[in-house]
């Protein structure tokens, strides 16, 4: 692994991410943009490894089903190597706070002075980091991800939650 993450030939990485199309809302262009950037950034550089396995690189399908995050992991030879369901209950307050601060941020960038935008952005990043740390905790013992990958996956969890 280099200082920029796993090499493109690493087995401990994601090479494809798909979001459940039935879950995604396309009503908010800001959320849609965040989702697209998160997927692009993950695919550019990530660390993702199934605990106890060495059959990556992996493809990941994310969906929300019955108030749980469904992670379906496959690779080039198997569509469904592993499945994990994570309760979204521990994420609810963080996601709600994140949506509120993002709304404030998007509003502020239209007309607020740079100092206010910066203050809101610091709060937004702090909440985002909190959600990312929680995701790493919830994946512990199942999937190993680096913090940048966890941050981007948290963005995708939020995008799946967004109902407009």
Instruction: Assign 3-class secondary structure to 114-146.
Output: HHHHHHHHHHHHHHHHHHHHHHHHHHCCCEEEC
Confidence of residue 164 (pLDDT cuts 50, 70, 90): very low
Give the mean model confidence (pLDDT) for residues 68-90. 94
Q: What is the pTM of this model?
A: 0.88
Q: Find how far residue 107's CA is from the centre of its chain.
A: 23
Confidence of residue 26 (pLDDT cuts 50, 70, 90): low
In a domain, 2, yes or no: no
Query: Which pLDDT score, from 0 to 100, does residue 25 have?
Result: 62
5 pLDDT higher than 90: no
Give the count of alpha carbons within 13 A of 59, CB side only: 12
Contact 99, 107 (CB under 8 A): no
Q: Model confidence over 85-106: pLDDT tens digits?
A: 999 999 999 999 998 998 899 8
How many structural domains are present in the chain?
1
Q: Which residues contact 25 (CB under 8 A, 6 or more apart)?
A: 31, 162, 163, 164
Backbone dihedral region of 5: left (phi > 0), alpha (psi from -120 to 50 degrees) or beta? left
CA separation for the pair 1, 83 (Å, rounded): 26
Query: Which pLDDT score, from 0 to 100, does residue 53 have?
Result: 93
In a domain, 9, yes or no: no
Give the count of alpha carbons within 13 A of 75, CB side only: 15
Give the mean model confidence (pLDDT) for residues 104-120. 93
In a domain, 152, yes or no: yes
Contact 28, 164 (CB under 8 A): yes
In a domain, 36, yes or no: yes
In a domain, 6, yes or no: no
Query: Which pLDDT score, from 0 to 100, does residue 163 have?
Result: 57
Full residue range of the structural domain in which residue 153 is found = 14-161
Confidence of residue 74 (pLDDT cuts 50, 70, 90): very high
Confidence of residue 3 (pLDDT cuts 50, 70, 90): very low
In a domain, 52, yes or no: yes
In a domain, 48, yes or no: yes
């Amino acid at each position: 692994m280099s200082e920029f993450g796993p090499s493109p030939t690493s087995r401990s990485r994601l090479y494809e991410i798909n979001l459940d199309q039935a879950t995604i809302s396309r009503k908010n262009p800001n959320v849609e943009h965040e989702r697209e950037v998160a997927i692009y950034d993950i695919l550019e550089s990530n660390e993702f490894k199934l605990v106890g396995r060495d059959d990556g690189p992996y493809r990941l399908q994310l969906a929300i089903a019955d108030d749980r995050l469904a992670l379906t992991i496959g690779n080039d030879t198997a569509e469904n190597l592993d499945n994990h369901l994570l309760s979204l209950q521990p994420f609810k307050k963080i996601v709600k706070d994140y949506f509120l601060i993002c709304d404030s941020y998007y509003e502020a960038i239209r007309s607020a002075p740079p100092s206010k935008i910066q203050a809101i952005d610091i709060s937004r990043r702090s909440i985002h980091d909190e959600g990312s740390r929680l995701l790493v905790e919830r994946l512990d013992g199942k999937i190993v991800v680096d913090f940048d990958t966890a941050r981007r996956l948290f963005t995708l969890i939020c995008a799946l939650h967004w109902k407009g």
